Structure 1
Amino acid sequence: MAGVLQSCNLAPKEEETPTVKADTINQINFFLETSASMGGYLSGGTAFKDIVSEFANKLSQIEPVRKPLAIYTISQEAQPYEGGVDRFVTSLATVPLANARSSELHSIFKQVGEKARNGNVAILVSDCILSFPDEDIKKNPQINVTDASSVLKNEINRQFAMLSKDTINATVYAYSSAFNGTYYDYQNKKQKLNGEQRPFYIWIIGKQRVLNLFNQKLQASLTTKPDKQLSFGGGSTITDYNLFFTLNRQGENWNADGQRITNLKGVRADRPAEFSIGLNLSGLPSYAQTEAYLTKNLTVMAGNAGVKLLTIQPKDKVDAKATEKLKTNESRMLSESTHILTFKVTQLFENQTPVTVKLPVRYDTWYLDQSTMDDRTAAGREGKTFALQHLMNGVRDAYETGSGSDKSFINLTITLEQ
């Protein structure tokens, strides 16, 4: 076997940064609910028409997407909309699209969810009012109040549980718009509204990696940002990180070795060690990536050792001067990270101390304030959607498998050694 000779005078070749191929979306499927309850959003000059038009236009421009944007209207069964984006946008202003029978949301979500498979993204625009069919309400006018928390919630849960099993996640954007037309309360009684502000929602559903890519591209392009936002799912718990040797380093002699910090014998309060790790949080819901959420919810446990989380920085806020000193390998590690966490060690009592860093799953609950169980008066429905809490809780439960309190977005272990 021939040997390989290498001159000891040659510096080792620097590691090249790998090229990461971006995920490609197969197709974007856009659904507009057209039951009669949606008609008031399409009458007159409304924010709804502006926002839906912008969505349709921006969706047609997102790249890379293999197939053209597919548009559907839906109340009972989804109907392909022929004519493309330009005609659809014009129809929002000139054609009474929302004139179909009342719809059942669990049936709609089933059809929309089927279009979110195989690298596709499915989007639904709806007022998201949970309701039994007309004939059931005629028999029992209180059925929407008495059975929304059981029957309707569980129907929604069933649809999203099937999606969750296939790692298909969901993001919901909440908006508000003037409503000019007939509003149907939970007893199906008609009320004429003239400019009353009503919430509506845009759901985005797709496989985890495809959905993350899509949301990033969409949010960067939107002029009108949502009033509220919530993501369901998020994939597997993050357990990997990059441990830096140079970045934000303080203290002498310690070494970085994989997932361990070694040679910390001399550490003490007046001679601390500081080190940083890099995390890629791009797979988390967008709200869970914010500095505010991380600062409030990230926990660090190190027994009786003196370990403190000093800073949480999005990568773009890291001091440029600090990055100039990085070797090629650490520059690559930084490029792979979205956030940098810096820790301070002031005392160690054991030869080996595990430090656990956790970010528990906490879903935002803004929807509770936006839900009502009596929408028969303007005061009762102001800025609220009937039974929204039961819809959202049904979806949330589908993604909270096992004990919700034990689920974590992040669960890391860093070993400190003297």
Structure 2
Amino acid sequence: MTIESAPSSAGTVDDTRWASVARVPRGPFAAVSAAVADRLLRGAVAALPLRLCYPDGSVVGAADPSLPSLILHQPDRLARRVGASGLIGFGESYMAGEWDCADLAGALTVLATGVAELVPRGLQWLRPILLSRQPQSARNSPEQARRNVAAHYDLSNAMFAEFLDETMTYSCALFDHLPASSDHLADAQRRKIDRLLDTAKVGPGSRVLEIGTGWGELCVRAAARGATVRSVTLSAEQRHHALRRVAAAGLSDRVRIDLTDYRELEGRYDAVVSVEMVEAVGYALWPGYFRALDDFVVPGGRVAIQAITMPHDRMLASRNTHTWIQKYIFPGGLLPSTQAIVQITENQTRLRTVDMMSLRDHYAETLRLWRQRFNERRDALDTLGFDAVFARMWNLYLAYSEAGFRSGYLDVYQWTFAPTGAGQ
């Protein structure tokens, strides 16, 4: 069964995104590149607290069996995929079941921590083998942005409901203590939203613009404070669910939710909020995004965003590449760096930082809980039509993301601005 056979609630899923998983590179070039990839993989693992376990019982890497171990069921196929498409091939090999790991997040944390050492300095010229160029289709014109959003957020409201908590909030939570349990997730999401609304000074009479609706929790909580809210989204599935939640809360007179691009908006607001939206904008369009936030907020107002970030040098190195996450999870996305955000806001807008808090450890925990819930509900996902390849793909995505935060390679900030600067 493929995702194409899922019920209509699955939205606009395009299963051609993972059709290549069934194809293993062949031919002389594939054989040569596979040999290079195998050498690089063995060399990298030898320098890390990680193990490669082969079908013949041999082990490369750390001797301690308690350390994360990649169980290679078909090492030749893995090498061919990595040789042909680098880290995309590494992910596709996992999707195809060619390797496994009992502690997937732990193994990926080791790899994320040692990312700078994965390719020896003398072999950096081989970087193009490991990274593919970004396709033109990933550029976020308004039309392409709609397709990119639909590819992820319109998968199925029912699917997301299986692993998210009752608030249906799909962004980093803020726990009162770590580690946490699934029982704490809904309250942690409400705490995150309330803190963002507090820093944006949202209260009775506030006029609020939300860019990126999600499934409606922020709308409801802002309107419950006495604010009037306009929210925009490119996801038809999310808008449908959010409108139902707003109506159920008796707040339809205070909340308007439009299926439109933020670039098509006009008007000014006391507060502008946007939770983990900038990551989908795209490198070339970040200046326009922050100028729009600046244009939308009144003097004396606030702009509050939640943004996932990566190191500036890695952002520059990857801005034109095509990654596994972009191909299979978030087409068109790129994580900004804090340096990039500061440069854009200070040089091109009036926006100046008035509050900034990292939630990095909280995101690692949020992702751990989501993945736990996702795996606990595999039978329900099967019933919805999401097959084994999809389940492995999402397991890798959630573990990969958790590893990024645990290693410190990724961070996430609640970041509040006031329009107090001179602008461009």
Using the size of structure 1 for normalisation, the TM-score is 0.29
> Structure 1 or 2: larger helix share?
2
The structure carrying a bigger strand percent of its residues is: 1
